[in-house]
Chains A and B, each alone.
Chain A
Amino acid sequence: MLGFVVRRLMSSLLVILLASFVVFAIFYLGPSNPAKPVCDAQGKCTPERLAAIEHNMGLDKNVFEAYGTFMKGVVAGREVTVGSKQYDCAAPCLGISFANGQEVTSELKKRLVPTLLVAIGGSLTYLILGVLIGVFAASKRGTIADRLLVSGSLLVSSVPYYLMCLLAWIYLTQQWSIFPETGYFPITENPFKTFTGLLLPCLVLGIASAPAYARFTRGQMVETLGDDYIRTAKAKGLPGHSVLTKHALRAAIVPIITIFGLDFGVLLGGTIFTEFIFDIDGIGRWGLLALRAPLDLPVITATVLVGSLLIVISNLLVDLTYGFLDPRVRLG
């Protein structure tokens, strides 16, 4: 078991390094030059001055060297020069934002909390809603209730997500004021306001993804209900609800949890539409804003690094829980 975890951690580390390097290289070698706006701001931009600024910002190094400097900062901290200013960036240093001269690490920390809260609230909503609907539909398979749920979920999932967010925001908060103002309010100041501010985004995210989970759960349940051990459970004299949950759902939940873990990792990387439309200052919105010219390279690199880190971690967690959920693949 321990050997497995260590092996997986090693390969995960490799994946993270590779992903961050690829992204770093794409933007580093790309056409946008972060030194140009700094140069322009100082009046007439001669090629000599541009070159000097590039040298100051470390943009004249080759890509491997530049990436090495960046990773050294992550591990040990470093001195960063942006424009004419010097910054003492402590480890883990992800650089200094070109846009506002703030440390990327502390900016990231600030935005991780709302993203995490939206991811938890949204994913729990769609997991619970989806599994409940899926189990119910499977138990009523072939009836009108089942058909209504299946076609209803198809209807919901065919609405584009950004449209659903917009409609919810326009009608539920602006027009009818059913929900209070959305957005992220620091949890340390007023936890209740944090809750109400994120309630609608979480619900919309949950409802939008619930149909996929409902259909997946229904499919898994229908398959499981046809298995021999379900017949055995009935032959024991167990009541229907016990057969449905303790026996059928217990087996059907394993692949559902797997998909859930992977989806959750993706959500942690930021939910761009949700954060944008509901005005939540999270990772997704931050990363998107950093893509506007001039490129805020340190922010982009940081969001990708964190995103891939979280996805790799959730993959690892899925693999580990799989062993708990299915004794046949239990390790060691």
Chain B
Amino acid sequence: MTTLEKTPDAGGPAGKADAPYLEVNDLTVKFPTADGLVHAVSNLSYSVELGKTLGIVGESGSGKSVSSMAVLGLHDARTARITGSIKVDGMEVVGLSDQKMRAMRGNSTAMIFQDALAALHPFYRVGAQLAEAYQIHHPGANKRDARRRAIEMLDRVGIPEPHSRVDDFPHQFSGGMRQRVMIAMGLINDPALLIADEPTTALDVTVQAQILDLLQDLQKEFNSAIVIITHDLGVIAEMADDVLVMYSGRAVEYGSCREILSHPEMPYTWGLLSSVPDVTSDPNARMIPIPGTPPSMLNPPIGCAFEARCTHSDKVGGDLCATKLPEMRPGGRGAHHLKRCHLADPDAVYAAEVLPVIAPDLAEES
């Protein structure tokens, strides 16, 4: 996978300016169940450089979280079959021993989860939970060091009076403050790669904006690579440098954020854009939900997974959409914008049929 926007100052601590910090190649995750094999993620490839943010977007069950948890090796080896390659800072992670994986987890690669109330242990003080995350990767640090570090991190993520709040339990924090605690825990060991799994879901919009700002500030400060998983295109627009759209366990569109949001080439991405409410937009704009439901992951269709819900498949000759899985390949807008679709000229279809409905003002301008 090629990197999308090369900037000269994107070098990390290791000085590997060119190699992406996280490189996922042909990742496939399957779960054997009593009903058969669940194809949770199929042939997924993407990469993220230090200092950059990749947004992974898709609906529930599209494989966003499953693919990211594979990066940290959080799947149970007894229940998940993982093939392909995940390289973190050049090191292959798939098949890595549990011991080596643990040294990486929470240290150079950290993850923050949605719903911090459930993701933090209800019976331990937040200070103890932060200190634990620090001490496990700093065996030389004593309790006092770890506590000092915990307070420092709480202060850094904007929690007022960190000296006293460090001794509070998670349930004593508000939702936004709790998510800050979660972020403080993720960042306590200065990770080079941070995976944020829907970090702002279930938070109100003002708090959501604060959390996203915080993540961006911290990214600037530490030059870390961020993978942000979301189903909210607003979050993508605010945070991401690159966007990966997933559907039914596969990447369906991949490119820079501006490209994807302004010139989407895959009907599923159009559907996502059509279903975003926007108070500031043209009052004539319509919000159109995507009809139907995603296909079963037990027996994925042989053709395009989106075919059954796609309103544009009739523009493709024959029954190509139903019988042949489209490749992930560059469309009409250059090598850095990949899409998985049989449509011959998606730009024209988008401009003629989709844009006038969802954003009449934009359609008139162009």
Contact = CB atoms under 8 A, between A and B. Distances in A.
Interface stretch (B114-122, B241-249, B289-297): B114-122
B227 to A, nearest CB: 14
A238 B136 contact: yes
Contacts of A238: 102, 132, 136
Nearest to A250: B123
A232 B115 CA distance: 11
Contact of B74 (A229, A231, A326): A231
Contact of B119 (A232, A237, A239, A326): A232
Interface residues of A, number: 21
Interface stretch (B105-113, B150-158, B202-210, B215-223): B105-113
Contact of B120 (A229, A239, A250): A229
B169 A228 contact: no
A237 B122 contact: no
B125 to A, nearest CB: 8
Given A234-B74, A236-B185, A328 B120 contact: no
Nearest to B125: A327
Contacts of A247: 121
A235 B105 contact: yes
Contacts of A227: 118
B175 to A, nearest CB: 15
B119 A229 contact: yes
A233 interface: yes
A229 B102 contact: no
A325 interface: yes
Contacts of B115: 228
A251 interface: yes
Given A235-B72, A251-B123, A228 B102 contact: no
A237 B123 contact: no
Contacts of B118: 227-229
B103 interface: yes
Interface string A204-218: 000000000000000
A233 B113 CA distance: 12
A247 B72 CA distance: 19
B104 interface: yes
A240 B99 CA distance: 10
A118 to B, nearest CB: 33
B342 interface: no
Contacts, number: 66
Contacts of B124: 250
A231 B113 contact: yes
Contact of A228 (B98, B105, B113): B113
Contacts of A231: 74, 113, 119
B113 A325 contact: no
Interface in A231-280: 231-240, 247, 250-251
Nearest to A227: B118
A236 B133 contact: yes
A327 B169 contact: yes
Q: Size range of the interface on B? A: 20 to 34
B286 interface: no
A95 B144 CA distance: 61
B106 A235 contact: yes
A236 B108 CA distance: 11
A235 B109 CA distance: 9
Nearest to B182: A232
Interface string B49-92: 00000000000000000000000101000100000000000000
Nearest to A240: B98
A237 B120 contact: no
B105 A233 contact: no
Given A251-B122, A251-B123, A237 B169 contact: no
B105 A325 contact: no
A239 B169 contact: no
A237 B106 CA distance: 5
B105 A232 contact: no
B171 interface: yes
Greatest chain A CB density within 10 A among B74, B121, B132, B136 is at: B121
Nearest to B73: A234
B154 to A, nearest CB: 16
Contacts of B185: 232, 236
B113 A232 contact: yes
Contacts of A228: 113, 115, 118-119
Nearest to B122: A328
Interface string B123-136: 11000000011001
A136 to B, nearest CB: 16
B309 interface: no
A231 B195 CA distance: 14
B137 interface: yes
Greatest chain B CB density within 10 A among A232, A233, A234, A236 is at: A236
Contacts of B122: 229, 251, 326-328
Interface of A: 142, 227-229, 231-240, 247, 250-251, 325-328
Given A228-B118, A235-B105, A328-B122, 4 more contacts: A229-B122, A236-B106, A237-B133, A251-B122
